[in-house]
Amino acid sequence: MHNFVHPPKISAHLQELILLIQRHAPSDGKHATAVPDLCFRRASHMSEPTHTVNMPSLYVVAQGSKTAMLGGENYVYNPATYMVTSVHLPVIGKITLASPHVPYLSLHLSINPDEILDIIHKSSSQWNGKTERGILVSQSDHLLLDGLLRLVRLLDTPEDIQFLAPLITREILYRLLQGEQGALIRQFAIVGSYAHSISKTINLINRDYSKPLVIEELAKAANMSPSSLHKHFKRITAISPLQYQKAIRLQTARRLLLSEGLEAADAGFRVGYESPSQFSREYGRMFGRPPMNDVKHQRNALSAPVD
């Protein structure tokens, strides 16, 4: 097992966070909470790579370790660090450190870009004008963890949540903006920045993922040239707009296959594929198995007994 050495304040905060998450997430899986936009995850075993779309969020690991893969790049986060995604990103997540005796424990707090923009306007936060990747891993500090702890403690006084949770969440966002990589978060809230335009483009692709992707139309909506759109899109997401749309389509198709029991061809048509063979080929390339074999594997994994 890995041992992470922390300054005393951070170590004390993490120990309390571990106890609180264990109490509010007593079993493996994802656990929503009474605090808006806050949820916990617990896992007693290391995981297979899992394809998901990360929303704009803060991720903090209290115990264990996880890797997020985006466009061939790996981002490792553990109790010494936190991860932020500033836009919707199709990532592959893998829990790399977990056991029944020392489970993986983490929290996930959704980020509202409008709240970020309001904080920027009311503080001295600066933006350096550069377009950076929409995902970052940074060193944790005791001020950020202190805010997160106070937010989690509200679960024990539910009558305080409605009034205090928005205030503490705002403080947490302020700490992120003041952190060592705050500029990477600010860029997505600044109207007129390339990152803000790409964020809008990403929302358009997610909304209309089943429709053919026309780069010229996306570029016009973003008020950018096609070449500029492509360059900044890849700088933020590590993949091209077409690769992004493909990832969204295939992840959506996988969910449909699992939740609605569709045939592979029907799922492919639903997400925008006209050719069943192309859908099966690209699905297998992304998930490692043809659609129906993958569904069978996923269902067997879900029904397998836990040690």
Average pLDDT over the chain, rounded to an integer: 91
Question: What does the pLDDT average to over 138-154?
Answer: 95
pLDDT at 282: 97
Q: Look at residue 23 in the predicted model and tell me its pLDDT.
A: 97
What DSSP line would sit under 131-198, residue for residue? ---SEEEEE--HHHHHHHHHHHHGGG-GGGHHHHHHHHHHHHHHHHHHSTTHHHHHTTTSTTSHHHHH
User: Residue 245: which domain range?
Assistant: 191-307
131 vs 154: which has the higher pLDDT:
154
Query: Which amino acid, one-letter code, is at 257?
Result: L
pLDDT for res 307: 47
Question: Does 140 share its domain with 21?
Answer: yes
- Identify the residue with better confidence: 189 or 149: 149
Residues 166 and 212 in one domain: no
In a domain, 53, yes or no: yes
22-46 average pLDDT score: 97
Number of H helices, E strands in the chain: 12, 10
pLDDT of residue 1: 45
- pLDDT mean over 5-11: 71
Q: Based on the domain organization, do 198 and 123 belong to the same domain? A: no
Q: Based on the domain organization, do 53 and 178 belong to the same domain?
A: yes
Out of 77-81, 125-129, 157-161, 256-260, least confident range: 125-129
DSSP-assigned beta bridge partners for residue 137: 83
* End residue of a domain, out of 146, 170, 186: 186
The answer on pLDDT for 92 being more than 50 is yes
Domain containing 217 — which CATH number?
Answer: 1.10.10.60
Share of the chain above pLDDT 90, in %: 75
